[in-house]
Copies of this chain bind each other. A is one copy, B any other.
């Protein structure tokens, strides 16, 4: 329990805990006092109904509640979707004794479906009661909330840290969901894409203006470098609430650095958990591009390789077919000299200066048999680096997405 930030409460009703099995889950995160709040949202032109509502609320820089429904994206639902979202905020406001202006909402699920209003009208009061009771501060409730946001996820994704700031302990706790329609590109000014949701709670004493650049930078270094299928969602969101209950503030540059690094590590841990739990995934892949002319070049190339179906199916087959990596590099839009490029599987170099090395196909497979594989590209064109995290591409991904609505 010690890792939970002070002054927060949570409650969750995972889909599998419902009286009747359902594809809907519901979670609420709550701060006992007004908290500094910031969020990054997807850059998809098509946005779920909740994002403009949140953006309006975030203008004050404060919030107390984040209410999450999983199973329904509430996206492309027209005016009815907006009316229904506002209604759920009213229900939560009443049940939690919090102004509707302090309630943020997030959702994930099928685009075009309407919200399960019958369920929500019962469950928002029920969950709120639990949250405000003794249970609300227990670790188990936070765990249930993290379970409740899952859709096609197979594992709960939680990360936490404690960092000393000015002699005081500051706690950061985060959870996220995401397994398919994963290729986030979120900004602070943002619009929505594919669905990954992350929630970070901390008892640091700070302001929205101090939080925003840190959240933006941490998101760029973590969630925005994960892809499962290249399909950006309409609902991607990362939220942070900081309620000040620790009493610690960021007085010096080194305080700021210490907090930022802990926040970034949590975001990285959560991001890797998304890639590892990608729909149907059997392997985690890190694509590293080194020796690029610019960071943008390195990132673009890493992303192109990470989204290549041929690279990802080869990884699944543990096939050392590095030609597919080169073909993806070559279509990335980055100018480079293939005759200078190297490719390594982990530490094993299979392609050097534009030609195959003497490593046999059989030997080259060895590093690919691991559960976590690093594909390393060296361009010898400069000093910039970039990376992307992804997973392999399996028949199970196709099954999940052909058979079920997600």
Contacts and interface: CB of A to CB of B under 8 A. Distances in A.
Contacts of A326: 46, 75-76, 111-112, 234
A331 B44 contact: yes
A313 B84 CA distance: 30
Contact of A231 (B44, B331, B402): B331
A148 to B, nearest CB: 22
Interface of A, helix, strand, loop or mixed by DSSP: loop
Contacts of A162: none
A309 B229 contact: yes
A322 B351 CA distance: 42
Interface stretch (A10-18, A126-134, A209-217, A389-397): A389-397
Contact of A80 (B183, B323, B355): B355
B399 A319 contact: no
Interface residues of A, number: 70
Contact of A316 (B309, B317, B402): B402
A55 interface: no
A361 B219 CA distance: 36
A7 interface: no
Contacts of A353: 78
Interface in A173-204: 180-181, 183, 185, 191-194
A314 B401 contact: yes
Interface in A332-353: 332, 334-336, 338-339, 351, 353
A310 B395 contact: no
A38 to B, nearest CB: 23
Interface string A296-317: 0000000000011110011011
A274 interface: no
A136 interface: no
A78 B43 CA distance: 41
Contact of A110 (B321, B329, B354): B321
A20 interface: no
Interface in A348-398: 351, 353-356, 393-395, 397-398
B112 A356 contact: yes
Contacts of A335: 45
A112 B313 CA distance: 18
A198 to B, nearest CB: 19
Interface string A38-52: 000001111100000
Interface of A: 43-47, 73, 75-80, 110-112, 180-181, 183, 185, 191-194, 229-234, 307-310, 313-314, 316-317, 319, 321-324, 326-332, 334-336, 338-339, 351, 353-356, 393-395, 397-399, 401-403, 405-406
List the 8 closest pairs (A to B, CB-CB), nearest first: A111-B323, A78-B355, A46-B330, A317-B402, A313-B401, A395-B395, A44-B330, A232-B331
24 contacts: A44-B330, A44-B331, A46-B330, A46-B338, A76-B356, A78-B353, A78-B356, A112-B321, A112-B323, A180-B310, A181-B327, A194-B327, A231-B309, A231-B327, A234-B323, A234-B330, A309-B309, A310-B406, A313-B401, A313-B402, A314-B402, A316-B398, A317-B401, A319-B405
